[in-house]
Amino acid sequence: MTPRFDDPRVAAIAEKALAGKRLDFEDGVNLYRSPDLLGVGWLANRIREEKNGNTTWFNVNRHINPTNVCVAACKLCAFGRQKRHPAAYTMSLEEVWERAGQGYTEAVSEFHIVGGLHPELSLDWFCEMIAGLKARFPQVHLKAFTMVEISYLARRAKISNEECLIRFKQAGVDSMPGGGAEIFSERVRRIICDHKMTGEEWLETARLAHKIGLRSNSTMLYGHVETPEDRVDHLLKLRAVQDETGGFQTFIPLAFHPENTPMQHLPATTGFEDLKNIAVSRLLLDNFPHIKAYWVMMTPKIAQVAQRFGADDLDGTVVEEKIYHDAGSTVSQSLAREQLLRLIREAGREPAERDTLYRPVVRDEATFTVLV
Ligand code: V47
């Protein structure tokens, strides 16, 4: 059954999408500009159900941020610190390995490891960190390093990005998170992350990672100084790389949190914008299997609703989140498995625990030990 759309432009786009036709730049901008959130959401939900049925995925993961020391000083970020700042920290290798085992009783299936661009920690140090984690937690998937960290470490080690990726893969990295993409528009990058790699470099590094057999995620930071056109441009560039490589697993729209950043004069995003971004990305990224509503960023309340606007994944337990909490987030740092299950079931979805590569995880009911 097709609903009546409030906006005739959305009705026309729905006809196209439901006929299996690819949406274009103009469709994307019209979807962003339309106030018909329920129409756009209905359509995204239809496509979500075609791709993922009634399932919402989650995982049991732990974030580890070995250092917040960062040479980049991006205006979007409240996490990075200069080396001499009183709140700067850098863990020792032993601290990283110890932290990995702390704070959660249930067997974690993924470590999500990202950090600042530290001017002294070497590629060898990071390889040792990864190899040490693999040796201590062989069953845990290591999702580590953004494209930005790869490019920085490669440059400092005077090797190519491809060699750096190969070194990390050999050390034990299993896949890569989606951070650091921000918005590919160079005009916007000059304002929000002036010294970071360009959008084209981010995309090229993702291509290389996929080429050597590392799958990765992808993100887009929205809700700062970008336009709807910048967002659509970003999504279509990701879609083009995915056509080439098929290496992206999921897309995660990330709402900008302005507090404690040099852009704190900007207002935070609204629930309307957050749901719209989930829905539009589900519609434009027709070759992406998954869209993640990251509950830390969206709040558990909006992430729950997002399951009916195109999202089929809520991320995981997280345990200790720093990047959004430094930027003023007041949501919990961690969600227990039971809380995730409730968010999913109340939305009428079937919870399915996954590993990082979206394979179902089966646990012993009593002990939560991973069986498969
Ligand atoms: O790269 C930084 C963004 C990203 C702020 O791949 C900010 O599964 C909002 O990429 N306000 C890190 N956003 C988070 C990330 C991520 C999270 C969860 C899962 C996955 C995945 C990836 O957060 C950064 C940057 O784009 N960010 N500062 C801020 N003030």
CA distance 153 to 70: 12
Ligand 1, atom 6, lies closest to the CA of 177
Which residues make Cβ contacts (< 8 Å) with residue 293, sequence separation at least 6? Answer: 278, 302, 303, 306, 307, 311, 313, 314, 315
Question: How far is the centre of ligand 1, averaged over its atoms, from the C-alpha of 39 (Å)?
Answer: 28
| Contact of 134 with 171, CB cutoff 8 Å | yes
Handedness of CA 160, 161, 167, 169 (dihedral sign): negative
Q: Which of 219, 251, 292, 325 best tests ligand 1's pocket when mutated (most atoms within 8 Å of CB)?
A: 219
CA distance 318 to 43: 30
How many other β-carbons are positioned within 10 Å of the β-carbon of residue 347? 18
Q: How many residues does the chain have?
A: 372
Report residue 313 as tokens: 């994944």
Which run of H or of E encompasses 291? Answer: strand 290-291
Q: What is the pTM of this model?
A: 0.96
Q: Is 178 in the pocket of ligand 1 (CB under 6 A)?
A: yes
Domains of the chain listed by start with CATH number: 54-370 (3.20.20.70)
| Contact of 206 with 147, CB cutoff 8 Å | yes
Question: How far is the centre of ligand 1, averaged over its atoms, from the C-alpha of 45 (Å)?
Answer: 24
Residue for token pair 């921000």: 182
Atom of ligand 1 nearest to the CA of 179: 10
Q: Is 298 in the pocket of ligand 1 (CB under 6 A)?
A: no
CA distance 250 to 24: 20
Between the alpha carbon of residue 343 and those of residues 8, 234, 307, the distances in Å are 33, 30, 9
Q: Which of 109, 221, 322 best tests ligand 1's pocket when mutated (most atoms within 8 Å of CB)?
A: 221
For each of the chain's 372 residues, which pLDDT tens digit applies? 677 899 999 999 999 999 999 999 999 999 999 999 999 999 999 999 999 999 999 998 899 999 999 999 999 999 999 999 999 999 999 999 999 988 656 688 999 999 999 999 999 999 999 999 999 999 999 999 999 999 999 999 999 999 999 999 999 999 999 999 999 999 999 999 998 999 999 999 999 999 999 999 999 999 999 999 999 999 999 999 999 999 999 999 999 999 999 999 999 999 999 999 999 999 999 999 999 999 999 999 999 999 999 999 999 887 778 887 888 888 887 888 889 999 999 999 999 999 999 999 988 777 777 777
Helices vs strands, H then E, count in the chain: 14, 10
CA 70 from chain centre, in angstroms, equals 20
Between the alpha carbon of residue 353 and those of residues 60, 103, 118, 185, 366, the distances in Å are 8, 20, 34, 35, 16
